[in-house]
Amino acid sequence: MFNRVNWKKAFIQAAAVGLIFCLGLALVVGGFVLVNYDHLGRFMRVVYLIDTQYLNGTSRAGLVDGAIDGMVGSLDPYSSFQDAEENKVLMNSIQGTFGGIGVHLSTADPEKLVVMRPIKGSPAERAGLEAGDIITKIDETDVSTISQDEAVAILRGEPGSKVTVKIYRPKTKTEFTVSLIRDYINVPTVEGISLPGRSDIGLIDISSFNINTGDELEKVLREMDLTKYKGLIIDLRYNYGGEVNAAIKVASFLVPEGSIVHIVNRNGVVDTKESTAEYIDMPIVILTNEYTASAAEIVSGAVKDYGSGALVGTKTYGKGVVQTVFTLDGNTSVKLTTDKYLTPKKNDINKLGIKPDVEVELKEGEKPTILPTEPVFDSQLSKAVEVLLQKIQ
């Protein structure tokens, strides 16, 4: 989950054997972050050794990018440096349009590239990729040797270009390789249907949160015509999160007027975000699982605290921290963990997750039915229907 902030760079200039090295400093709450110059000695010594002793040629820009990457990457699993290509990928993700294979990927485990779900109509869906598949190799690159951001940057590319991925499918313990042709991917994050076999129940799937998600939900609700329904099921399973303001708007539809989330910065300053949309006053069930994370947990936590709906499924992932994207020079950026968030009742869910009101797991080998076209549902969706019918009757 992240915000995007542009910031002015301040520079510390340290001279060593004719080298001027610039460190970007964040301008935070009216004051500069202070740096202890003593710690730069070893760094400058290494730069000098590379400059004078290293066998192969180096690029000064590459050294600086590598230093920033290592520095930021040492902080926590969610903070990262984005070079020009990775930053483009990140911004495209926030905006919701890019060239690629069309998969939602989990950010929950930084060590793995797990497919949350293929995007409807995408090359990945046509190739048969499924939720839970693990991408282990992209062309000749072993995914275990690169970061998630780097892997995503490789997966994306010009529409019409070819990429080969190696897949491990845990549920069948099989490996296979598939070649895909990249395409334009416009990511609809919200889709809604009438539940097959129950025209009086609406089913809405929210796959992730980008800057358009709140508006998309508003549009879907309008097109579905809520007067036709007695209740709604909102599917947040396999939703890894995303843009915080989008989550606030989505949650605003699902809880009465009031606080949605409390965002707490490093100094303990609390920024309480209030409802920004008109509350849907009807029976609601939220589907969650262990891949429901970050911004999706803002929505789940708000609904649970207000009691405006029932949570059904399994405990959520437990990512209660917020990343802010700071643009460095227009082409690169750093994504830093800057805040934590608390639910409306000020519960801290980080590393704990949110326990559903009704706990039910998928059976072994059972595939989730996301927006099913037939009245055949997985165990969690079936239970969600059962719980909703109890609320309606």
> Quick one: pLDDT at residue 2?
54
**pLDDT of res. 282:** 97
Catalytic residue among 205, 305, 339, 378: 305
- Mode of pairing for the β-strands spanning 310-313 and 284-288: parallel
Q: Are 286 and 309 in contact, with CB atoms under 8 Å apart?
A: yes
- The CATH number of the structural domain formed by 97-186 is 2.30.42.10
Contact present, 120 and 370 (Cβ < 8 Å): no
Tens-place pLDDT, residues 101-127: 999 887 667 788 999 889 888 999 999
Residue with tokens 């643009």: 327
Task: Examine the residue annotation and report whether 379 is marked as an active-site residue of this protein.
Answer: no
Q: Which of 294, 300, 308, 333 is catalytic?
A: 294
**302 secondary structure, DSSP code:** H
pLDDT tens per residue, the chain (393 residues)? 655 444 333 222 222 222 223 333 333 333 444 556 677 888 888 888 998 999 998 888 888 899 999 999 999 999 999 998 888 888 877 777 788 999 988 766 778 899 988 988 899 999 999 989 999 999 999 999 998 889 998 999 989 999 999 999 998 999 999 999 999 888 789 999 999 999 999 999 999 999 999 999 999 999 999 999 999 999 999 999 999 999 999 999 999 999 999 999 999 999 999 998 889 999 999 999 999 999 999 999 999 999 999 999 999 999 999 999 999 986 899 999 999 999 999 999 999 999 999 999 999 989 899 999 899 999 999 999 999 999 997
The answer to whether the pTM exceeds 0.85 is no
Q: Which of 137, 249, 304, 319 is catalytic?
A: 319
Give me 337's structure tokens.
């963990």
The reply to whether 315 belongs to the active site is no
Q: What is residue 223's predicted lDDT score, i.e. its pLDDT?
A: 96
Alpha carbon distances (Å) from 94 to 1, 46, 61, 76, 182: 10, 37, 27, 21, 19
Strands (E), 97-161: 97-100, 103-105, 115-118, 134-138, 141-142
Place of tokens 């920024």: 271
What is the third-level CATH fold of 190-392? 2-enoyl-CoA Hydratase; Chain A, domain 1 (3.90.226)
Domain ranges of the chain: 2-77, 97-186, 190-392
Instruction: Single out the residue of 107, 118, 143, 151 nearest to residue 2, CA to CA.
Output: 107
Q: Is 69 a catalytic residue?
A: no
